[in-house]
């Protein structure tokens, strides 16, 4: 006899209202409040829409460092792109900026 009881969702997901849901049963890496990865890293992993990024991360119009424009001005670590290159974000500082990806 099989158990047809629905299993709890174990991976984070984005709702139609752009809410990030991280189940308590999710892998430790998603539990940012218990030392897991940052919200920025989870949103990037989920390929979250721009509206979700705006909901959970802080806007930083000056995200680029003056010394190295490919690094965050706050933590001096590399910044990354998301949303098909439509935004820059710092996976450590949970900050973003809308900007088209630059040509290499």
Strand positions, DSSP E, the chain? 13-14, 20-21, 58-59, 80-82, 87-90, 95-98
Sole residue written with tokens 């490919």: 70
> In percent, how much of the chain has pLDDT > 70?
87
- Cβ contact 12:44 at 8 Å: no
**Confidence check: pLDDT of 21 > 50:** yes
More confident residue, 10 or 33: 33
**CA triple 32-98-21, angle to 5 deg:** 30
pTM: 0.82
* Mean pLDDT value across the chain: 90
- Cβ contact 98:87 at 8 Å: yes
């Amino acid at each position: 006899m099989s158990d047809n009881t629905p299993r709890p969702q174990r991976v984070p997901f984005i709702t139609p209202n752009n809410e990030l849901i991280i189940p308590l049963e999710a892998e430790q890496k998603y539990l940012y409040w218990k030392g897991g990865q940052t919200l920025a890293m989870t949103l990037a992993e989920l390929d979250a829409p721009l509206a979700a990024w705006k909901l959970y991360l802080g806007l930083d119009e000056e995200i680029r460092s003056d010394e190295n424009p490919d690094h965050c001005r706050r933590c001096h670590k590399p910044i990354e792109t998301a949303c098909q290159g439509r935004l820059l974000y710092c996976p450590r500082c949970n900050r973003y900026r809308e900007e088209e990806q630059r040509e290499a």
